[in-house]
Amino acid sequence: METETILMGQRQLQRWHLIKMVEGMKMTLREAGEKMRVSYRQAKRIKRAIRNRGVKGLVHGNRGQPSKRRIDDVLREEVLGRSKGVPWGFNEYHYFLAVIFLMYSLISRTPSNPQAHENAWPFRAL
């Protein structure tokens, strides 16, 4: 039998316990919702998530996944290597953004890419 470790906080553990008490008919869902400090409707959603997915229903679906905004390791090492001795007072992340901005500015204005929009920026704002 294969076991899986699921990390959860105190809040999720309390929710699990309260929903199990509701299923055991030791308290109502409305009371459990009040103890969890959520609405009755949200308590129903939590109960349904536990019924359908078990403990996994309590933790966020993105837990354990790498960030969508993660910088590629090779590019990160390249930028960090070049940032040694930069007198501008930037930290690594600001230096990275400056380098990417300059690189993207140069790439987007090349003759091979005449359709590039001047204000185009490949990253979401922070």
Same domain, 82 and 121: yes
Same domain, 100 and 51: no
Neighbours of 47 (CB within 10 A): 19
Flag whether 5 is in a domain. Answer: no
Same domain, 118 and 80: yes
Same domain, 74 and 118: yes
What are the CA-CA distances from residue 51 to residues 11, 56, 61 (Å)? 18, 10, 16
What are the CA-CA distances from residue 54 to residues 24, 49, 59, 79, 86 (Å)? 16, 7, 10, 43, 51
Flag whether 40 is in a domain. Answer: yes
Same domain, 46 and 70: no
Flag whether 4 is in a domain. Answer: no
Contact (CB, 8 A) for 104 and 97: no
pTM over 0.85: no
Same domain, 73 and 126: yes
Tens-level pLDDT at each residue, the chain (126 residues): 677 777 778 888 899 999 999 999 999 999 999 999 999 999 999 999 999 988 888 887 777 777 777 777 777 777 677 667 665 666 777 777 777 777 766 555 555 555 555 455 555 544
Residue 87 is predicted with a pLDDT of: 59
Domain that holds residue 49: 10-57
Closest CA to 21 of 4, 6, 36, 9: 36
Same domain, 35 and 75: no
Which of 57, 77, 94 corresponds to the end of one domain?
57
Closest CA to 78 of 63, 105, 96: 96
Task: Give the number of domains in the chain.
Answer: 2
Same domain, 40 and 77: no
Same domain, 121 and 78: yes
Flag whether 37 is in a domain. Answer: yes
